[in-house]
Amino acid sequence: MAISRLTLFRLATVATLGWLATQKMRSSKRRAVRVAATLPSELVDTARANAASSNRSLAGQLDRWARIGQFYDVLNEVDYDRIQLALAGAMSPDDLKVAERTVYEAAFMQRMRDRTPQEDSFFADLERQQRSADYDMSKLGTR
């Protein structure tokens, strides 16, 4: 069962937000660095207006926009076809880029949580066979 591109995109979004949150936590432990940069006046004016309406400083608004840009860049690194190949077993997950691997792991865990009717049937048959053979389930995992 293939995972849709939309589902992979949603997983990518959640996984990337989690990754960015860990980056922000790491970076919050570092001191801020002053950088002299020349920005277009239109960008600064828009940032200042957005900052005021969101109760942020100008620096806070520019930082927010930089993080959104970082988020967008990370999402653009994700090749959904490669993730599908890895999920299908046609490609090793070890060959995925970091961002792709994060999405792959989220998709893999989603698949593990969502059992198919065939899997339910298989495990129900297995349980019936074990019960009919009078298999002692209490000895599982013991030597």
- Taking residue 9's Cβ as centre, other Cβ atoms within 10 Å add up to 14
Please tell me what DSSP assigns to residue 18: H
Q: What is the pLDDT of residues 70-94, one digit of tens each?
A: 777 777 778 888 988 998 999 999 9
Checking phi first, is residue 97 left (phi over 0); if not, alpha (psi -120 to 50) or beta? beta
Supply the pLDDT for residue 137: 64
Residue 55 has pLDDT above 80, yes or no: yes
Q: How confident is the model at residue 36 (pLDDT cuts 50, 70, 90)?
A: confident
What is the model's pTM? 0.49
What is the number of alpha carbons within 13 Å of residue 93 lying toward its C-beta?
A: 12
Q: How confident is the model at residue 65 (pLDDT cuts 50, 70, 90)?
A: confident
